[in-house]
Amino acid sequence: MYLRVNMMLTIVIQISIIYVIKSAAQINSEACNSCCTVVVPGIPGNHGNPGVSGPQGMNGEKGRNGLDGIPGKLGPQGLIGLPGTNGVKGEKGEQSSQKKSAFSVFFTSNPGRHDTSPMKYDTIITDVGNHYNKETGKFVCTIPGVYVFQVTSMKSSGSGKLKTRIMKNGNVQMSAQMDADGYNSASTMVVLDLVSGDEVWTQPGSPSYNYYHSSSLRYCSFSGFLLYAA
């Protein structure tokens, strides 16, 4: 009796479980049919109007400058190029028309105590333009311009004194003096602006400063040249 009752309970429980499983399966099927229905997409709508611009953002912080890199090594020197071809020969230039005047004179004999008058040098080395007059001892300007004149004089031995002046039209322009004992030289130079007819010469400074000495070695000389024409 007890076994029959247990069997019947077991059957009833099994039938109940089967019923519950079928009911759950039916509910899941209906739910699937509902959510799996095919839907046709609609026609796309028109684009909306652009939105209003937003407010300007705040300025960002200024970036930092980057550090310079380390200089690279010097590259190798390139090869020397081949010499270029010779250029076209230029045209022959015109001969200069520059005016010229220059002279250089000296004593080959000893002038001794020369008078205080124009010194007449006995020998001419150069006289471009023939503007030095050997007879008067004067240079006569024929080309107006700026000239350079230079004089060198040697004093005789002993205690005699020497002073030589460069004169222009009778006025002293420059002087060279020597007071020391024995053979000694004095020299000076001057730049003069001359016009046509101006005369330039040398002469002793005074009767007591005129102890000259010269020889074939040409210790006393007078020179001048045109620096540029006016």
pLDDT tens per residue, range 75-85: 787 788 788 88
The per-residue pLDDT for 87 is 80
The mean per-residue pLDDT over the stretch 11-39 comes to 59
The per-residue pLDDT for 61 is 73
Is the pLDDT at 23 greater than 90, yes or no? Answer: no
pTM of this prediction? 0.58
Enumerate domains of the chain plus CATH numbers: 102-229 (2.60.120.40)
For every residue of the chain, which 3-state class applies, written as one string? Answer: CHHHHHHHHHHHHHHHHHHHHHHHHHHHHHHHHHHCCCCCCCCCCCCCCCCCCCCCCCCCCCCCCCCCCCCCCCCCCCCCCCCCCCCCCCCCCCCCCCCCCEEEEECCCCCCECCCCCCCCCEEEEEECCCEECCCCEEECCCCEEEEEEEEEEECCCCCCEEEEEEECCEEEEEEEECCCCCEEEEEEEEEEECCCCEEEEEECCCCCEEECCCCCCCCEEEEEEEEEC
The per-residue pLDDT for 36 is 45
